[in-house]
Amino acid sequence: MRDQKGFSLLEIIVAIAILSVGILAAGSLQGPACKNNVISRNYTEASTIATDRIEKLMVLDWDDTLLSDTDNDGTNGGGLDDTGTDADHSAVDGNYTIYWNVSADDFPVPNTKTIRVIVMWNNRGTQARISMDRIVPKII
């Protein structure tokens, strides 16, 4: 029997056991990877929605009601973080709620307004948010 070449049954069983442990370890990473992909997708969608809202606001006339500080709390940039009923304006886009707040005229420099768009959504039981700012110049 010493002249025979090949693997014994015991060697094959050990090799299969080692391979199985490696495959199970790699497989256990799939769950967290899928979860993180969903979270990343939500942030990407929220960023796209915020950018889209800013672009829509940028083409409006300076005196448009959607570019007004409706609660007069935007002096010197105050009130730009407001959400819910404290926000100057809001809209809903699917699972995302969009809030935007406008500073008072001439902030941070003369003939400008600052717009802060805040997008919020439910992310696995917790409230997630992203915000973007844009300074809008008054075209004279």
Distance CA 28, CA 18 (A): 16
Please say if the pLDDT value at position 125 is more than 90.
no
Q: Give per-residue pLDDT as tens, 69-100.
A: 998 888 887 889 999 999 999 999 999 999 99
* Predicted pLDDT at 7: 77
Phi, psi at 60, each rounded to 5°? -75, 155
Please say if the pLDDT value at position 67 is more than 90.
yes
* Predicted pLDDT at 48: 97
Distance CA 14, CA 52 (A): 57
What is the residue-wise DSSP string for the chain?
-TT--S--HHHHHHHHHHHHHHHHHHHHTHHHHHHHHHHHHHHHHHHHHHHHHHHHHHTS-TT-GGGS-TTS--GGGTTTT--GGGSSEEEEETTEEEEEEEPPTT-SSTTEEEEEEEEEEEETTEEEEEEEEEEEEPP-
* Predicted pLDDT at 8: 86
Q: Could you state, in order of their start, the residue ranges of all structural domains in the chain?
A: 9-137
Q: Give per-residue pLDDT as tens, 12-43.
A: 999 999 999 999 998 888 889 998 999 999 99
pTM equals: 0.80
Q: Are 50 and 42 in contact (CB under 8 A)?
A: no
